[in-house]
Structure 1
Amino acid sequence: MSWQLALQAPLEQDLSGFRHLLQARHIGHRISEAAGQQQLWVADTVTAEHVRQLYEAWLQMPADNLEFAAAPADAAAGRGMSWKQQLRRYPLTALVLLLTLLVAVWTGVGDVVENVAKLTFNAVLIEGDRAWFVPLDQTLASGQWWRLVTPVLIHFGWLHLAMNCMWFWELGRRIEQHQGSLFLLGLTLLAGVISNVSQFFFSGPAFFGGLSGVLYALLGFCWIYQRLCPVAAYALPRGVVGMMLVWLVVCLLGIVSALGFGQIANAAHVSGLLVGCAAGLLAGLLARARA
């Protein structure tokens, strides 16, 4: 790593509070002494400029606000907030989860085929114990455009539902707080459509669904954005990205299906990740340009 000098401060100045502020925002740094001054170093020039701005603001900050400023951003985990406060702060994240839970109950988490068929990518004709998928062009020609998105709300089993809801709550509110509800809505819809379309072209007409493709998009966004323009909200716990990528590879290799855990929508996962990484790249570069 090539360290960049962010700022210099007198030896007698106590920088411990400012260091706590940087640590709370997950900004890597080190302090050395040279030429009778303290020198604070960071990883790159963009971070250096950001640190200088933080330092100027920190110097002007009243003493009674220093502890608040150094506290980690509560968007990442919502610590210290009641569930009502979190619902008000992350309304879109909560709304998506509410819709997902309602659909899970309505479809019996995939067991009530008649209801599942109303949300599948292709329309389904059911006659007794037999079912036929309607070709996609006929499905869309009949005005059923909602089917491009609605498969993300379908889940097959309570474990599938619980894991996806947990990760959407964890990742969605980070993005909603930092980028806004409309951005999260746009990213969710875009990732949902692209992951569903990708899975359809990969597997053909089939009963597939779940938030997993969207989750990989949210993960990819946080991952790439954080590398380009570090913010506390997107600082995921160590190992999370690696674990999710390893899980993706394990699914691609067919190990999960071979162990009897059902078919995995790999195309939805991969395409969702690519969408999120692309969005994180664009948003991160714009944030760096503004900085």
Structure 2
Amino acid sequence: MELLEALRLPLSEDLSGFVMLLQRLGVPCRVSEEAGEQVLRVPEAQLEQVRELYRHYPLGDGVAVEVSPPHPAGRGGFAQALLRHPLTGLLLLVTLIVAGLTQLGDNLGAVRWFNFTDFRIEGDYAYFAPLAQTLDSGQWWRLLTPMFVHFGVLHLAMNGLWFWELGRRIEVRQGAVPLLLLSLSFGVVANLAQYVFGGPGIFGGLSGVLYGLLGHCWLYQKLAPDERYRLPRGVVVLMLAWLLVCLSGIIDLASFGTLSIANAAHVGGLVAGCITGLLGGWLARRRLAGA
């Protein structure tokens, strides 16, 4: 069970009585020393309840605060997770709907409505409309919609799982609106980067957005540490290593040209995410320092 930071207190504060209270209530908890402070961690579902309980506990004012048991694993646990991260779930639902409409990229008639620029197929050739013409005709949604298009089950599954892991971290700490703005912004930046540096083509996927969210979480956590933003060990290294492998062209060679990686979208999303992570982390650090 993952435990998240609920309280960060001076070492002089005696938490033994409060920890015993949590144990009597059946709340899993752990206390550790970090950077000259003691940190109390509890399950995510009980963070606010434990904080409210502690606000009353030292005062001895007798206020009863109910602390519910952890959410059970299985279906109930996943349903509760969706309720706690509704926007992350909604964006994944939209992705699944688009995957169905486009038949995972096989239905080119549907794909053309989500592609960055309109295109038509004549024989063995694809002809793409210029971006200026596309925007002049009012089709501004194309700047964003390629992020929802996926080509194959594996492409969809991998991107969906990573978005669930990264998106809900941001939704928990910063809220649904920031997650929405970040996801849409990273999507536009990634799509523009791929078009500018990769040229007209049929491309899509959440990968550019994922690298944006990765960069954002990574640097935000560096500047304003919070357990809710902590990524599992090796995740950043793994994703950056995969990016380098893709940039090397090995994937294109191994697939004999049948699989093309949108490298510009990945790099564009990562750069945008690092910028927002630095800015957001700096602002959060200032707020914490002034609190």
Fold match (TM-score > 0.5): yes
| Aligned with residue 289 of structure 1, among 267, 273, 286 | 286
Give, in angstroms, the shift of residue 290 of structure 1.
Answer: 0.7
| Aligned with residue 93 of structure 1, among 85, 88, 104 | 88
Structure 1 CA distance for aligned equivalents of residues 132 and 209 of structure 2: 24
Aligned to 2:153: 158
> Where does 1:77-92 land on structure 2 (aligned, <5 Å)?
82-92=77-87
Aligned to 2:12: 9
Structure 1 CA distance for aligned equivalents of residues 136 and 231 of structure 2: 43
Contact 2:173/2:228 (8 A) holds in 1: yes
SS in 2 for 1:9: coil
Using structure 1 for the length normalisation, give the TM-score: 0.76
Give, in angstroms, the shift of residue 262 of structure 1.
Answer: 1.0
Give ranges in structure 1 of 5+ residues lacking alignment. 1-5, 31-38, 43-52
Q: Deviations over 1:3-29 (max 9, x none)?
A: xxx84528x8749959x9xxx799862
Give, in angstroms, the shift of residue 90 of structure 1.
Answer: 1.4
Alpha-carbon RMSD across the aligned residues, in angstroms, is 3.4
Aligned to 1:206: 201
Contact 2:162/2:210 (8 A) holds in 1: yes
Contact 1:114/1:126 (8 A) holds in 2: no
Query: Quick one: structure 1 residues 126 and 259, their matched pair in 2 at CA, closer, same or farther if it must change by over 3 Å?
Result: closer
SS in 2 for 1:132: strand
Q: Deviations over 1:178-233 (max 9, x none)?
A: 11111011001100001000000111110111000000111111111111111111
SS in 1 for 2:126: strand
Query: Quick one: structure 1 residues 281 and 144, their matched pair in 2 at CA, closer, same or farther if it must change by over 3 Å?
Result: same
Query: Quick one: structure 1 residues 79 and 175, their matched pair in 2 at CA, closer, same or farther if it must change by over 3 Å?
Result: farther
Aligned to 2:34: 29
Using structure 2 for the length normalisation, give the TM-score: 0.76
> Where does 1:36-47 land on structure 2 (aligned, <5 Å)?
40=37
Query: Quick one: structure 1 residues 139 and 40, their matched pair in 2 at CA, closer, same or farther if it must change by over 3 Å?
Result: closer
SS in 2 for 1:117: helix
> Where does 1:253-268 land on structure 2 (aligned, <5 Å)?
253-260=248-255, 262-268=259-265
Query: Quick one: structure 1 residues 197 and 40, their matched pair in 2 at CA, closer, same or farther if it must change by over 3 Å?
Result: closer
Contact 2:11/2:38 (8 A) holds in 1: no
Query: Quick one: structure 1 residues 259 and 82, their matched pair in 2 at CA, closer, same or farther if it must change by over 3 Å?
Result: same
Give ranges in structure 2 of 5+ residues lacking alignment. 1-8, 23-28, 40-50
| Aligned with residue 164 of structure 2, among 166, 169, 176 | 169
Q: Greater RCO between the two (CA within 8 Å, min separation 6)?
A: 1
Structure 2 residue 186 is the aligned partner of structure 1 residue 186: no
* Count of residue pairs the alignment pairs up: 257
Give, in angstroms, the shift of residue 87 of structure 1.
Answer: 2.3
SS in 2 for 1:131: strand
Q: Percent identity?
A: 49
Give, in angstroms, the shift of residue 81 of structure 1.
Answer: 5.5
